[in-house]
Each structure stands twice: as structure tokens, then as C-alpha cells.
Homo-oligomer: A and B are copies of this chain.
Amino acid sequence: METRITKLFGITKPIISGGMVWCSGWRLASAVTNAGGLGLLGAGSMHPDTLAHHIDRMNEHAHGTWGVNLPLMYPEIDAVIDLIIERGAKVVFTSAGSPKKYTARFQAAGIKVAHVVSSSRFAVKCEEAGVDAVVAEGFEAGGHNGREELTTMSLIPQVRRATSLPLIAAGGIGSGEAMLASMALGAEGVQIGTLFALSAESSAHASFKEYCISLPEDATMLALKSISPTRLARNPLFNRLAEAEARGESADVLREILGQKAAKRAIFEGDVENGEVEIGQVVAQVKRIDSVADIFKRLESEYLSALQRIQSLG
């Protein structure tokens, strides 16, 4: 399949793995790249020296284009940008900040830049900032999320009309059917989080993966709206936060309940009762831990079946 996204990144399949904190290390990202997609390292949970290590492993193990997801709130942002450029990443996905500040610096080093948005208003700002592609991520996505609460079904057609940038859909894409739906809506590629977070190659803790594949369809909810909206699975920590929110508690009280490194606690250390279980709404569609190669095979086969079904409707 050829789209502006496959051509931009020089990949054979328009499938990108989200650069997810505590999940997207070199094992996951290189497996995605080696399956023909674009694997992203999740720099958001890595100290600069850890990121350097993962980039070095990518250079050894990934046979194709790969990239780094960089939240622009990263504390040592300038050091980490130098590091990404020096170690030879070819693609950066930026999020949680303005694309205006760093895009030119990456592009001057020959790096393609995509920026993640949750509204068409921000997609237009991306175009003004000169990014190479935009990721439009809907309300159903796991982890950090937009305040507009626009779903992928609402958002993608709006972004498609607002900008001519190559467009990647994210949020709620758990099957080949949803991948085809994203392309129908106007996307030219998909970024998938939940399926890859729960893959064999994800660096998430085994207890996190086991917990997630047991979850029912109403397991996740957008929480922490007064701090930074984040999609979490319900667990004892979630319930403590929800009760505090219902009482009208301040953001400071919520931060205290959350404590330090709440995402690491659940995802990397496996404490699924007291940590933030950041996962997408499609988690209920994942009932086993598959390899990245098997996930790609399933997505392709479902996509083709759905395409045939659509064509047969006339």
C-alpha cells in the first residue's frame, strides 16, 4: 500500500507504533520497523542516557526507518534534541507543546517531523509551523488526551478539510476494520498504541499486560481533566481519583493522590492497583499477548477482508 505517509517515511505499510511511555523501547520499535511499519521510541519515559542506549540498539536492530516520540515538555529538551540528531534518528513525532519551536531545528538535520494534535485548529498551527505530517488523535486513545474530547470519527474528517498535510489517524484503532475506517475518513496512515503496548515486544510489565487483556469494554475513562486529561483503566487508584474529583477537590489534592511516577508504577513495575493504567478504549478488543509480526498479519488480513466487504456492497 502506498500513501503520502509511506512515501514520506520510506516504509511499506502505513502503520506506526505510538511512542508510549514505559512500553516503546527498542524491542517494540525495531519489531514494528522490521514488520514494514514505522517504529517509534517513547522518549517521554527515558533519561537522556537511556534514550541514547535505545537509539544505539535501534541502529543495530532496525532494518528500515524508525523514529522517536518526544513530548515537548521534556525537562532536558535541548540536550535530548542534540542527542536525537547526533545519533541519527530520521523521524521525530512531537507532542504536548507547540510545533513552532523545534521543527526547523530537526528538519535542518534531515529529520522528518510529525506533530500530534487533538483538533483541526492545532492541525492548522502544525501546517503553519512547517511540520511534515500531522497525527490527529481522538478521545478514545489511551494516556494523555486532548481537552476537546473529539473522537477519531469526528476529528479525522475535520482535520482532513482543515489542512492538506499528510495525515495519520490515532485513537480507537484496534483492528484492520478500524484501520480501513481511518483511511475512509481521510487518513493516510494509522498510529496504533494499545495493540502494541500489549504486544510481546512491549517493555511494559507482564502484570500490566495480563491485567489489560482481562478488561471489559467499559474499563477505561478519561480522568484527571483538571490536571491533564488522561485515559486510564479503572483500578483502586482511579477510583480514589474519581471520588476526589466528584467531591470537587483541587488539582493539588489529585496530584497528591496520584503521587510520583504513577504511570511507571503501573506500566513498568506492574502495580496495576496503585499506578496509572494508561491504555486505550479498544483494550477490550485485546484478549492475548501477540508478537508484533502477528499483529501486523492480523491487521492486514482484517483490512483486506473489510475492503472486500465494502466493495461488495456496490
Residues of A within 8 A of B (CB): 1-3, 119-121, 138-140, 147-154, 156-158, 160-161, 171-175, 177-178, 180-186, 216-218, 221-222, 246-248, 281-282, 284-285, 306-307, 309-311, 313-314
Question: A150-B218, A150-B281, A153-B173 given. 13 additional CB < 8 A pairs?
Answer: A120-B217, A138-B151, A140-B150, A149-B222, A151-B172, A153-B178, A154-B174, A157-B174, A183-B310, A184-B306, A248-B248, A307-B310, A310-B310
Beyond A153-B153, A218-B119, is A180–B184 a contact (Cβ under 8 Å)? yes
Task: Tell me, in angstroms, the Cα distance from A193 to B148 when the chains sit together.
Answer: 20
Beyond A182-B181, A184-B184, is A175–B151 a contact (Cβ under 8 Å)? no
List 13 A-B residue pairs with CB atoms under 8 Å apart, sorted by A's residue number: A1-B314, A140-B154, A151-B172, A154-B174, A154-B282, A157-B174, A158-B217, A178-B184, A181-B181, A184-B306, A248-B248, A310-B310, A311-B311
The smallest C-beta distance from A68 to any residue of chain B, in angstroms, reads: 27
User: Which listed residue, B3, B156, B177, touches A184 by the CB 8 Å rule?
Assistant: B177
Residues of chain B within 8 A (CB-CB) of A175 are: 157
CB pair B153 A217 closer than 8 Å: no
CB pair B158 A284 closer than 8 Å: yes
The smallest C-beta distance from A75 to any residue of chain B, in angstroms, reads: 29
CB pair B313 A281 closer than 8 Å: no
Task: Tell me, in angstroms, the Cα distance from A248 to B148 when the chains sit together.
Answer: 22
CB pair B149 A172 closer than 8 Å: no
Residues of chain B within 8 A (CB-CB) of A178 are: 153, 157, 184-185
Residues of chain B within 8 A (CB-CB) of A161 are: 285
Task: Tell me, in angstroms, the Cα distance from A135 to B185 when the chains sit together.
Answer: 21
Closest to A314 in B: B1
Task: Tell me, in angstroms, the Cα distance from A204 to B248 when the chains sit together.
Answer: 36
CB pair A183 B313 closer than 8 Å: yes
The smallest C-beta distance from A136 to any residue of chain B, in angstroms, reads: 11
CB pair A153 B171 closer than 8 Å: yes
CB pair B217 A121 closer than 8 Å: yes
Beyond A178-B185, A185-B178, is A217–B313 a contact (Cβ under 8 Å)? no
The smallest C-beta distance from A190 to any residue of chain B, in angstroms, reads: 11
Residues of chain B within 8 A (CB-CB) of A306 are: 184, 186
Residues of chain B within 8 A (CB-CB) of A246 are: 248
Beyond A151-B172, A184-B184, is A285–B158 a contact (Cβ under 8 Å)? yes
Residues of chain B within 8 A (CB-CB) of A139 are: 139, 151
Query: Which has the most chain B C-beta neighbours within 10 Å: A140, A158, A171?
Result: A140
CB pair B314 A2 closer than 8 Å: yes
CB pair B151 A140 closer than 8 Å: yes
CB pair B217 A1 closer than 8 Å: no
Task: Tell me, in angstroms, the Cα distance from A216 to B122 when the chains sit together.
Answer: 13
User: Which listed residue, B3, B149, B181, B218, touches A185 by the CB 8 Å rule?
Assistant: B181
Task: Tell me, in angstroms, the Cα distance from A160 to B119 when the chains sit together.
Answer: 29
Beyond A218-B119, A307-B310, is A154–B185 a contact (Cβ under 8 Å)? no
